[in-house]
Chains A and B, each alone.
Chain A
Amino acid sequence: MIKVRIPTPLRPLTRGQGEVEAKGASVAEVIANLDSIHPGLKQRLYDETGELRRFVNIYVNEEDIRFLKGKETALKEGDEVSIVPAIAGGR
């Protein structure tokens, strides 16, 4: 199982849980699996063209997936996925 941290705006879809588990061999598969357990989640993360929305940041074991293989990044048992909306910041 893969542990997934859910940001506040998506918690209404996970009955308030900040951390859930899902199955899948890639980030995309985990999101698909999550969507089957918590319907509506996928639609919130992807835009109309099927790509991750501009302000959605996903990390696998603390690494930004844009430095890995994007949503095709492979996952293995014990990996942790973190979804962080709109990384804010500024010095």
Chain B
Amino acid sequence: MDNMTRRVFAGAAALAALGVVTGAAAQQPVKIGVIYPLSGNSASAGNYSKMAIEVGADVVNNGNAELAKIMPIAKGGGLSGLGGAKIQLIFADNQGTPAAGQNQALRLISEEKVAAIIGAYQSGITVTASAIAERHGIPFLTAESVAANLTERGFKWFFRTTPVAIDFARAYSTFLREQKAAGQKVGSVALVHENTEYGNSVASVIAEQFAKDGLPVTQKIAYSANSSDVQPQVLQLKEKNPDVAIFISYTSDAILYTKTMKELGWKPAIMIADNAGFNDPAFVKSLGGSVEGLVNRSTFAGGKPGSVPELFNELYKKKTGGDSLDDVSARGLQGFLVMADAINRAGSTDPAKIRDALKATNLPASQMVTGYEGVKFDDKGQNILASTLITQMRGGQYVAIWPKDRATAQIVLPYKGW
């Protein structure tokens, strides 16, 4: 028995020694924490984003020949700046509550010893999770939370790649002024928005930007998203007959407006929808044919063959079994790629070096999965090159029409509708 024990110990010691040797030879993986809603109300968005980021990590770790021609980080073999260290993703579920988000951030930092964190989808959860990262001095990057105050907290470890309301307003404004220059009439603009936080805030940001740029907002119509009848609102529009109508709506009201406008036979020359309801797959499937020529926004709308968005989309489709990247999952993937690039340049898992590398980030538009002009952070951590693509409904799906260098189709005006 004694002998036996000794032999077992000797064997174990030998194995352990072997482990130490091989461990020293291969680079330690770099851990990146990812906090997403993997259960609860937003679980669907969270799980799609999780898969998108897994695709990104796979490209960094194992390489992709086509992508490597455009972005150096896709050469494969891990992070070259860290001697080929692989990226290891540690996912955590925020359960849709600010408390769980913060608890998980602490766990990722203190137990998993992650080098940086990406997350957390819902703005309220990004608030609490990033506060913990800030106190522990760990870089935190949000790829999709848009609440304006996130970058106003004076944080030193916080970065945001996604565009926010003001970026969308600027895109609409530039787009419309270009149409005006091309001879389209944009003498009057109507803003039709649902009356909670989302609709109110986006509408007021657009109104402010348009006033600055000399685009006349002549009509503002606020309505309740769960009203069952929008005839009065459409009649108001019909009476004033604005050249441009911008709709900031959720799904059921988007459906209602589309049907009511068809019934009452009114349409503007340019109809713009602010993502949300008009982008809902349910809306596109059932009413895509009734809004031919509808202008919309999205940070993702496919891309030309051989471009970064197109290549990533193909990889993603393979992983999900057919689902394409969408506005949310593409932004998540973009955030991850920015983080991977920064860690690679930092050449270290030291949080302070990663933060400095993030600050020095300067990625060109050609390397973007999303429709950003690139990635470059200001002092507050906001990506100043964040932008959006403008899309148009063509034969049941949205295609990118603006900006011109990333458009896959020519714009067709006026709005055709049904």
- Same complex: no
